[in-house]
Chains A and B, each alone.
Chain A
Amino acid sequence: MYILGGYFEVVGVYETSESLGLQKLYMNLSDAQAITDLEGQISRLDVYAEDQAYLEGIVSEITSMYPEFYLTTYEERLSQLERTQDMYQSTLENAESTLSQTQTIAFQEIGIAVVATSLIVLFTMLYTVRERTKEIGILKAIGFSNWNVMSQFMLEGISISLMAGVVGVVIGIVGAPILSSLLLPSVNLFPTQRQGFPGQTTNFGTTLSQSVATAPDLQTMLLAFGVAVLLGALGSLYPAWRASRTSPMEALRYE
């Protein structure tokens, strides 16, 4: 086997439980010093004590004999490693909690948007129904049933929110790349990605990469439409029911 300018004979291969990436070979000290141009020098010396009780004596003796040596005991080394591990652990936990915080905030925002949207649809439709009381009266007088009137207003609410959904997705497709290119350089860790109007906000994605995928996929868009229709239906339910219950006689008198 050729190692750093010298041929060596492999006399045996040992098996170990050590992790991958650490490759070791054992060889004669003087040979190792010769091929690495470090004759007469060593980089590390492990000292094993027969008993834990001798440890302190050995440590103080070595320190007094070779004050230039950097000496650590096994226990110190272990605690050092543990500290390092703790540090990594806490960094990881921090990152995770930041992520979950961002997620919680995003979900809260989505929740608020959903409630707000339903309320907006509700009040708009209530206003529409009130505004068109006379029309409802006419429709009922010429033979529209409660169900006809109700479905008419439901359909109207849903189609308006569907249109809003289309507008939202278009704004999302156009606006998301612009927004992310403006905002992402400063907050490229766990950026929140959104599309559409508030209320149709559905995509919450996290990524560490700088190049965030901002084009919404088909599934997201369908989901946005679904949410839009659902909110439209939800918000129009009560106003449509109110409309269907309007007395035609009183509605006709309404101006």
Chain B
Amino acid sequence: MSELVLETEKLDKVYKLGGRKVRALSDVNLQVKRGDFISIMGPSGSGKTTLLNMLGCLDKPTLGKVVLDGVDVTEVPEKNLYKIRRHKIGFIFQTFNLMPYLNAVENVELPMECTKKSRGEKKKRARELLKMVGLSEREEHRPHRLSAGEQQRVAIARALANNPAIVLADEPTGNLDSKTGDEIVRLLGKLSIDQGTTIIMVTHDSHIASRAGRMLFLYDGRLKAKEKKGLHLMKDALKCPNCGNKIQPDNTFCPRCGKEL
């Protein structure tokens, strides 16, 4: 249960910007267990996206290690990184980034496109995932006929397509209104509880961040843990912040004390 799925060791990233060196990350040590739902908060320019790019194998650190599912990805040559991205990582973006000319099912099938799965298997898996995110009725719709929240649900289903070890969400609620944003973060929490999906979410919305089981704060490239408060969408942390009653991720109010969650 407490198996480590992601670990970073003394992660450093230095950018060169016009001869000037900018230290985006310094000495980041992060340990993520299977099924964790972690939020990383921080002001803009604090290195959130840099960290996520590093974890998602889109960028290489200057120093340090990123061990994903037992593999040190900093040692994997560039041309083989796509395998890690394909099988170990699921991405969720702020702007959803669905393919406008593909319908919901086809968008979810996209990461499976280059795998050995048969057409039928891909379709079946995509339908299952859309059902999981509550979009069974909208399988054949193209993104422009879906609401923003629905588009993000499709993107979440797509991120889960190849059953990744970890899901990385970059401001997943950034383009959504607060109500829809809350629905999305609850969905992520539910997936982490029901499916055991490991999620790392970057956001600068403290309310959204507080929904996660663990909150981390990134400031000037340094990682700090923050106290927990609010609705913690993680199996062993899902309690009402008011009375400590065990709650479900989709509860809007605490069933015991009736306080809004």
Contact = CB atoms under 8 A, between A and B. Distances in A.
A102 interface: no
Interface string B155-196: 000110010000000000000000000000000000000000
A141 B85 contact: yes
A90 B99 CA distance: 69
A142 B91 contact: yes
Contacts of B162: 143
A148 B82 CA distance: 10
B174 to A, nearest CB: 14
A134 interface: yes
| B interface, size bucket | 20 to 34
A142 B111 CA distance: 6
Contacts of A248: 58
Contacts of B90: 142
B53 interface: yes
A40 B97 CA distance: 112
B67 interface: no
Interface of B: 53, 56, 58-59, 79, 82-83, 85-87, 89-91, 93, 97, 99, 110-111, 113-114, 158-159, 162
* Most interface-central of B53, B59, B93, B114 (chain A CB within 10 A): B114
Contacts of B114: 143-145, 148
21 contacts: A134-B97, A135-B99, A140-B85, A141-B56, A141-B85, A142-B85, A142-B90, A142-B91, A143-B82, A143-B87, A143-B89, A143-B111, A144-B113, A146-B79, A148-B82, A148-B114, A247-B58, A248-B58, A249-B58, A249-B59, A252-B58
Nearest to B56: A141
A138 to B, nearest CB: 5
A143 B85 contact: yes
A155 to B, nearest CB: 13
Interface string A215-255: 00000000000000000000000000000000111001000
Interface of A: 134-135, 138-146, 148, 247-249, 252
A52 B29 CA distance: 121
A247 B97 CA distance: 17
Given A248-B58, A249-B58, A140 B82 contact: yes
A144 B58 CA distance: 12
Given A142-B86, A144-B114, A252-B97, 14 more contacts: A135-B99, A138-B97, A140-B82, A141-B58, A141-B91, A142-B91, A142-B159, A143-B83, A143-B89, A144-B86, A146-B79, A247-B58, A249-B59, A252-B93
A141 B161 CA distance: 13
B82 A145 contact: yes
Contacts of B87: 143
A146 B83 CA distance: 11
A142 B58 contact: no
A188 B79 CA distance: 61
A56 to B, nearest CB: 97
